[in-house]
């Protein structure tokens, strides 16, 4: 009997469950449409939006403003999944066509599906700092549709979820894009541009200088205080426009946030101006921000010191300047094929006086330039003054093929000499000789 009752109870409760389960099929809908309809609706909405702007869209893409600047991109979306694109990533600001797609996954995303300018930011093999090896410029080209705000389209980038804003472009934006290139060249400089950059910050009453360490590829720079007691630094993440640079990370001076650095062609500076005399200036200088007294070991009357540039090890040194390399290459080009400069050794206060030895590969004998030195204690430089040339046996006329490079050594304003704190290939101390009047800098071993 017991089992029968249990069975009956079970059957009744089963029937009750069955009857009850569909008793109220109506569920309060949270949305007017189901998930699929909403996703495909978003897909169509985004595509219509992209196609709606006649002059396309502009996006200044900051991939990571803690270490990189921004790159301006212009997009014009066309029917059949085509897109025209231009960018100021390099001097090629021309427009190229590729394909795009609105993909649906967990949400709707815009994907640039075939190669164009935006993909330059995600090239593993092209990275601006050693820390970004295999990561390129940390760029994405798949952007999740987040919404619209004031006519702009807001996306979130695929890998790091940063916000990216597409703003409606104008015809002016397309004509202006190539004008970013000369501005970028001004801050990048060339081989004859002074080697050092300063960030001068005027807070309305006093001006403080910062050593501005700027990476032209990364479009990112940091100003370090020249006063060892002050531990302040300023990061600037630049993007460019036809009038100057914009920093996404503002420079905070007395509560004022400076972001727009206008280029001044008269003195080759970038200046951000605030209220009440507040100003920040980025400028080039031939004088190192921090000048050392290291030159004093080389003045008259000191013991012999020999500084040797050895081509095989020091041509590629990071402290060897492009202008120095240019002059070396020029000398080598004027020599027969098998010959080239192997060393430039500067002997200070030797038994034979002070002189430069130009040493060659390929059996060509050395040439010596005999000099005297004078000290400029105000500038903290050492000036090398011409005396005579010889070939080790007899006096000779000044060799024409060494004229340009030698003129740098005997420039009347002289050299900054700095003992560096790094080593290259050997344990020898590294010294750099930096011209006070040009971008000529030679890296040497103390021999």
* Residue 76 lies near other proteins (rule: CB under 8 A): no
Site for other proteins in 199-228 (CB under 8 A): none
CA distance 233 to 222: 7
Identify which of residues 113 and 297 has a Cβ nearer to other proteins in the complex: 113
Tokens 């427009």 found at: 95
- Whole-angstrom Cα distance, residue 112 to residue 90? 19
Of 134, 229, 378, 397, the residue at the interface with other proteins (CB under 8 A) is: 134
Burial class (CB within 10 angstroms; exposed 0-12, middle 13-18, buried 19+) of 83: buried
Q: Count interface residues toward other proteins (CB under 8 A).
A: 38
Residue position matching structure tokens 């066309």: 78
Task: Identify the residue among 159, 254, 296, 302 touching other proteins (CB under 8 A).
Answer: 159
Task: Tell me the chain's radius of gyration from C-alpha atoms.
Answer: 33
How far, in whole angstroms, is CA 331 from its chain's centroid?
A: 31
Q: Coil, helix or strand for 206?
A: coil
Considering the rule CB under 8 A, would residue 265 count as an interface residue with other proteins?
no
CB of 46 to other proteins, least distance (A): 14
Name the one range near other proteins by CB under 8 A: 35-43, 208-216, 341-349, 374-382.
35-43
Contact between 233 and 223 under an 8 Å Cβ cutoff? The reply is yes
> Judged by CB under 8 A, does residue 125 bind other proteins?
yes
- Distance in angstroms between the alpha carbons of the first and the last residue of the chain: 110
Interacting span for other proteins (CB under 8 A) from 30-38, 322-330, 338-346, 353-361 = 30-38
Among 6, 9, 13, 37, binds other proteins (CB under 8 A): 37
Shortest Å, Cβ 125 to other proteins: 4
User: What are 223's two structure tokens?
Assistant: 């100003």
Q: How far is the CB of 132 from other proteins (least distance, A)?
A: 9
Select from 22, 27, 378, 400 the one that contacts other proteins (CB under 8 A).
22
Q: Which of 11, 191, 312, 396 lies at the binding interface for other proteins (CB under 8 A)?
A: 11
Rounded CA separation 236/226 (Å): 17
Among 34-42, 213-221, 347-355, 373-381, the segment contacting other proteins (CB under 8 A): 34-42
Select from 49, 78, 111, 154 the one that contacts other proteins (CB under 8 A): 111
SS3 284: strand
Instruction: Specify the residue, 40 or 340, whose C-beta has the smaller distance to other proteins.
Output: 40
* Residue 94 engages other proteins in binding (rule: CB under 8 A): no
Q: Is 148 helix (H, G, I), strand (E, B) or coil?
A: strand
CB of 172 to other proteins, least distance (A): 30
Task: Give the nearer residue to other proteins in terms of CB position, either 98 or 286.
Answer: 98
User: To the nearest whole angstrom, how small is the minimum distance from the Cβ of residue 100 to other proteins?
Assistant: 10
- Taking the least distance from each CB to other proteins, the nearer of 113 and 428 is 113
| Per CB under 8 A, 333 contacts other proteins | no
Do strands 163-168 and 152-157 pair parallel, antiparallel, or not at all (unpaired)?
A: antiparallel
Q: How far is CA 213 from CA 27, 74, 291, 367, 421, in A?
A: 63, 29, 16, 38, 17
CA distance 134 to 131: 9
Cα–Cα distance for residue pair 183/95, rounded to 1 Å? 20
What are the two backbone dihedrals, phi and then psi, of residue 128, each rounded to the nearest 5 degrees? -85, -20
Asked if residue 98 binds other proteins (CB under 8 A), the reply is yes
Closer by beta carbon to other proteins, 106 or else 205? 106
- Residue 400 sits at the vertex; the CA angle it makes with 395 and 405, to the nearest 5 degrees, is 100
DSSP 437: S
Stretch that binds other proteins, among 139-147, 166-174, 274-282, 294-302 (CB under 8 A): 139-147
Check residue 136 for interaction with other proteins (CB under 8 A). yes
List residues near other proteins by CB under 8 A.
11, 14-15, 18-19, 21-22, 25, 34, 36-37, 40, 80-81, 98-99, 101, 103, 111-115, 119, 122-125, 133-136, 138-139, 141-142, 158-159
């Amino acid at each position: 009997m017991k089992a029968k009752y249990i069975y009956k109870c079970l059957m009744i409760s089963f029937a009750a469950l069955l009857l009850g389960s569909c008793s109220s099929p109506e569920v309060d809908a949270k949305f007017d449409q189901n998930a699929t309809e909403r996703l495909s609706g978003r897909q169509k909405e985004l595509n219509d939006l992209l196609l709606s702007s006649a002059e396309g869209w502009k996006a200044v893409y900051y991939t990571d403003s803690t270490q990189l600047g921004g790159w301006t991109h212009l997009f014009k979306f066309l029917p059949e999944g085509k897109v025209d694109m231009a960018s100021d990533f390099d001097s090629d600001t021309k427009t190229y066509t590729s394909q795009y797609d609105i993909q649906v996954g967990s949400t709707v995303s815009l994907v640039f599906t075939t190669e164009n300018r935006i993909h330059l930011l995600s090239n593993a093999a092209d990275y601006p700092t050693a820390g970004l090896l295999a990561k390129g410029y940390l760029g994405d080209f798949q952007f999740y549709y987040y919404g619209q705000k004031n006519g702009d389209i807001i996306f979130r980038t695929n890998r790091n979820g940063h916000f990216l804003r597409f703003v409606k472009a104008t015809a002016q934006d397309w004509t202006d894009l190539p004008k970013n290139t000369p501005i970028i060249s001004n801050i990048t400089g060339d081989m004859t541009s002074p080697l050092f950059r300063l960030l001068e910050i005027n807070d309305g009453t006093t001006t403080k200088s910062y050593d501005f360490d700027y990476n032209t590829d990364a479009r990112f720079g940091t100003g370090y205080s020249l006063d060892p007691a002050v531990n302040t630094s300023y990061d600037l993440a630049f993007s460019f426009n036809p009038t100057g640079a914009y920093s996404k990370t503002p420079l905070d001076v007395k509560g004022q946030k400076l972001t727009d650095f206008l280029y001044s062609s008269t003195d080759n500076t970038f200046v951000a101006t605030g209220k009440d005399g507040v100003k920040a200036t980025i400028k080039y200088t031939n004088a190192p921000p921090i000048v050392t007294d290291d030159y004093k070991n080389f003045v008259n009357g000191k013991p012999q010191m020999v500084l040797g540039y050895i081509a095989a090890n020091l041509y590629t040194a990071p402290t060897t300047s492009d202008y120095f390399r240019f002059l070396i290459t020029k000398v080598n080009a004027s020599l027969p094929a098998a010959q080239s400069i192997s060393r430039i050794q500067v002997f200070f206060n030797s038994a034979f006086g002070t002189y430069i030895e130009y040493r060659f590969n390929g059996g060509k004998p050395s040439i010596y330039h005999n000099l005297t030195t004078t000290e400029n204690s105000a500038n903290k430089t050492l000036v090398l003054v011409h005396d005579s040339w010889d070939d080790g046996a007899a006096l000779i006329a000044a060799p024409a093929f060494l004229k340009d490079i030698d003129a740098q050594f005997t420039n009347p304003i002289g050299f900054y000499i700095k003992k560096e704190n790094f080593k290259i290939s050997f344990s020898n101390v590294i010294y750099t000789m930096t011209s006070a009047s040009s971008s000529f800098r030679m890296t040497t071993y103390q021999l």
